[in-house]
Structures are given as C-alpha cells and as structure tokens.
Amino acid sequence: MHRVAISRTGLYTPPESISNQELVTAFNQFAEWDNHQHAAAIAAGTRQPIPPSSVEFIEKASGIKRRYVMEKSGVLDPQRMYPRFRARPDHEISMMAEIGVAAAKDALLRAGKQASDVDGLICAAANMQRAYPAMAVEIQTALGIKGFGFDMNVACSSATFGIDMAVNAVRTGAARAILVVNPEITSPHLAWKDRDCHFIFGDVCTAILVERLDNAPAGAFEVLGTRLLTTFSNNIRNNAGFMSRSEDRNPDDRDQLFYQEGRKVFKEVCPMAAEHIASHLAEHALSPTGVRRYWLHQANLGMNQLIARKLLGRDATADDAPVILDEFGNTASAGSVIAFHRHHEDIAPGEVGVICSFGAGYSIGSVVVRRT
Ligand code: CO8
C-alpha cells in the first residue's frame, strides 16, 4: 500500500459574474411582467402573484454576494431567465470538457506534472452535460492522459467522493496518479424564476491531483483518511433525466430543475456533518479543536458557522473555516475544493485540515489531510 497525497489543485473561473443587485433587478422585472400577464387570475384569487426578491434577504439568508456563470445575458433576460448556450457540433470539445481541461491543466502546472504522470481521470460533478460518452473520457483524451476515465455524480459531495475513489486507486497501486475534475455548470439546472433559490448557484470547475506521496511535490497534503456517508432524502432533488421524454415532461416543469426544502436541509444536514467530521477525526485520534483549518462545503454561510461552532465550541473565524461562497455562490461539489485551493498556502508542515462536503442525497464526504 502506498501513502497518498493531494499534490495540487486547479481552478477555472467562468468569464462572467452576476451581482445580487443585477440578479434581483432581472427577477423583479420578470415577476412584474408575469404578474401583469396573469392580472385577471390574480384579481380573481385563482393565482398568487410572484413576490419580489431582495438583495438584503439573499445576503442575510445565504451570505452570497455574487456568482460566476458561463453566460449571463440569458439569465438576466426577464423573458428567458436561463443561460444562452450555443449547441456545439460533435467535433468540437463540449463545454464541460473544455472547463475540465482548463482546471486540470492548472492543477498539473502547479504540481509540475505532465499528462504522462497520470493514469486516470474521474469527472465528478452534480450534473453531466450528456449521458455518454463519459465526460471524463473526453477530458482525459483532450489532456493526453493514457489510461481510463469515468464519470460519477453524488451531487454536492461528488468531489470528496471522487477523491476517495482516487485515493483508493493510488493507495492500492492501481494508478500512480488520478485527476479528479469537477466541472460544475449549475446555471442550466437552476430555476432562476423561483425566488426561493434563484440566488444560490454559480458555475466553476476545480481539479485535484491525487498521487503517491513519494511522487508528490513539496508542500503536498498527505491524505490521512477519507470517509463517506449517504442517506436518502427528498429534500434536494432534480427529476430531469432520460425518462423525462417518455413521461411527456416539459423541460420547464418545476421538478425538472433543482428544487429543495432549504430550511429542512439546513436543520438536518448541519448536525449530521458536524457529527461525521468529529467521528472521522476520532478514528485518527484527532480532536476537532486540533484541526488547523476546515475547508467546508460552500452552500450557506450560516450552515458553515453552525457546523464549525459545533466542532470548535466557539464561533469560527475566517482563518478556521474560510468562506468563498460570497464570491462564487454555491458551486455544488467544487465549493470545498475552491476553499482549499484559495486558502492552503499558510498551513505549516505537520498541521492537519479537513475538506468536507455535504448536500443532496443526503451525502457527506470528508478528507483529513496533513501538510508535508
Ligand atoms: N427575497 C426575499 N424574500 C425571500 C426570498 C427572496 N429571494 N426567498 C425567500 N424569501 C422569503 C420566503 O418566502 C419566506 O417568507 P415567509 O417567512 O413570509 O414565508 C422568508 O423569506 C424565509 O424563507 P426561507 O425559510 O426559505 O429562508 P431561509 O432562511 O431558510 O433561507 C436558504 C433559504 C438560503 C435556501 C437556506 O434555507 C439554505 O441555504 N438552506 C441550505 C440549503 C442547502 O444547503 N442546499 C444544498 C443544495 S445544493 C446540493 O446539494 C446539490 C445540488 C446540485 C446542483 C444543482 C444545480 C442547480
């Protein structure tokens, strides 16, 4: 068995960003227009008017201030309210693969490694652009990696679950190194016309190079352990899939996009995540207060504050548990990886940190790392 490390991570940031003010202005124009269209039904009491959204609510309820997207003009068009993508021909690289390649190249460059040093690629994300061929195979081939690639989806925990798969492959000697790539293009699956969730998500791509510790560059993070947990919940769902056509569904039907019971998720997931992390640390004879940094899933600022308080017994500082969701929004599985990517340079050799995701499924994945 080999010791395993996260060598380096990579990040692709989309070209466009939407502020809360821009988002709310577009939403409120849409709501006004829709209410005007249905004025008679609203007056007759057979339809409820769409209430306006507000910047203050969004910042207070979530901590999100803006989010990156692949295309913003379609999202901000009150007559459309979803991104406008050009259909690419089969001979052109697909959008998910393109951003996957960019993030993967960033990780390889930072690690001083080549495609020839890598034996496999896992594309782990909450949404796949198509059913097949696997996104991972397209990204792997575009990078020139010989070996294998496969896709996996555990919603917001895809990245940590992908790290677990990669760590096991490297630990057993099945691969020298695996790239885990998380192209999270959430904007096409978000119900931008629903004020309860229109502010939540953003697009991004992260990549994680997992390799044998003895091949890893200085400053890599040894993976001390990974731990995964799932338990079924209907509180976060998206029913779109290959059977939608046979069910005569309209892609705009509310359940064909992301929907959730946000308050229930908040209440149920926070204690589960804190308990999961504490017991994972205990397996390694570590205590939560001895952890130098928590790179937590970035869904909601209040959730992270609550989880960190349960672990530390006090309010967490930005140094204990860095926040990136103010800039990126919820980027599904990429959030905890962005937090790690942006905030790991100051961790001293020997110090321990935890990467932890939580989300739909429910799913929770934790990775305990120690700086070399
Ligand atoms: N503007 C103004 N008021 C609003 C708005 C708005 N935009 N939205 C809601 N309100 C109102 C509500 O109507 C409600 O009014 P009233 O009290 O009169 O009924 C009031 O504000 C409070 O609403 P909520 O109870 O809904 O507000 P919360 O304080 O619960 O905050 C949150 C809502 C921010 C959604 C919060 O519950 C939350 O973040 N929960 C956690 C959710 C979470 O972590 N989900 C994980 C999802 S991600 C995942 O697992 C994978 C998904 C895969 C990717 C999908 C791609 C699209």
Q: Which CATH number is 291's domain given?
A: 3.40.47.10
Residue 280 lies in a domain: yes
- Which residue's CA is the nearest one to ligand 1's atom 23? 196
Could you tell me the CA-to-CA distances from 281 to 261, 335, 356 in Å, in that order?
A: 30, 21, 12
Measure the CA dihedral 240/129/227/268, to 10°. Answer: -30
Query: Can you give the pLDDT at residue 255?
Result: 96
Could you tell me the CA-to-CA distances from 325 to 73, 85, 113, 174, 296 in Å, in that order?
A: 22, 25, 30, 36, 10
> Is residue 62 within 6 Å of ligand 1 at its C-beta?
yes
- Which residue's CA is the nearest one to ligand 1's atom 19? 196
- Which of 171, 205, 200, 165 lies closest to 185 in space, CA to CA? 205
Output the DSSP codes for 315-337: PPPTTTS---HHHH-B-GGGHHH
- Positive or negative torsion for Cα 296, 297, 301, 307: negative
- Which of 354, 370, 365, 293 lies closest to 126 in space, CA to CA? 365
Measured from the CA of 186, which atom of ligand 1 is nearest?
A: 56
Please tell me whether residue 313 adopts helix, strand or coil conformation: coil
Asked if residues 179 and 170 have their Cβ atoms less than 8 Å apart, the reply is no
User: Is the bond leading into 133 cis (omega within 30 degrees of zero)?
Assistant: yes
- Which residue's CA is the nearest one to ligand 1's atom 10? 196
Residue 184 lies in a domain: no
pTM for the whole structure:
0.96
> Is residue 219 within 6 Å of ligand 1 at its C-beta?
no
Residue 226 lies in a domain: yes
CA distance 170 to 281: 22
Query: Can you give the pLDDT at residue 194?
Result: 97
Residue 145 lies in a domain: no
Measure the CA dihedral 212/214/219/222, to 10°. Answer: 50
Is residue 156 part of the annotated active site? The answer reads yes
Residue 138 lies in a domain: no
The total of other beta-carbon atoms located within 10 Å of residue 225's CB is 15
pLDDT one digit per residue (tens) for the chain, 372 residues: 999 999 999 999 999 999 999 999 999 999 999 999 999 999 999 999 999 999 999 999 999 999 999 999 999 999 999 999 999 999 999 999 999 999 999 999 999 999 999 999 999 999 999 999 999 999 999 999 999 999 999 999 999 999 999 999 999 999 999 999 999 999 999 999 999 999 999 999 999 999 999 999 999 999 999 999 999 999 999 999 999 999 999 999 999 999 999 999 999 999 999 999 999 999 999 999 999 999 999 999 999 999 999 999 999 999 999 999 999 999 999 999 999 999 999 999 999 999 999 999 999 999 999 999
> Is residue 20 within 6 Å of ligand 1 at its C-beta?
no
- Which residue's CA is the nearest one to ligand 1's atom 13? 196
Query: Can you give the pLDDT at residue 148?
Result: 97
CA distance 121 to 142: 11
Measured from the CA of 363, which atom of ligand 1 is nearest?
A: 50
Q: Which residues contact 154 (CB under 8 A, 6 or more apart)?
A: 124, 161, 230, 333, 361, 363, 365
Query: Can you give the pLDDT at residue 69?
Result: 98
- Scanning the structure block, which residue is given the tokens 């998500």? 201
Best of 54, 199, 255, 300 for a ligand 1 pocket test (most atoms within 8 Å of beta carbon): 300
> Is residue 156 within 6 Å of ligand 1 at its C-beta?
yes
Domain count, the chain: 1
CA distance 333 to 331: 6
Measured from the CA of 360, which atom of ligand 1 is nearest?
A: 50
- Scanning the structure block, which residue is given the tokens 């056509």? 245
> Is residue 67 within 6 Å of ligand 1 at its C-beta?
no
Residue 109 lies in a domain: no
Q: How far is the CA of 98 from the centre of ligand 1 (A)?
A: 31
Residue 337 lies in a domain: yes
Asked if residues 182 and 158 have their Cβ atoms less than 8 Å apart, the reply is yes
Query: Can you give the pLDDT at residue 163?
Result: 98
Which residue range forms the structural domain that includes residue 363?
222-371
Residue 81 lies in a domain: no
Identify the DSSP state of 249: -
Token pair, residue 167, equals 């760590």
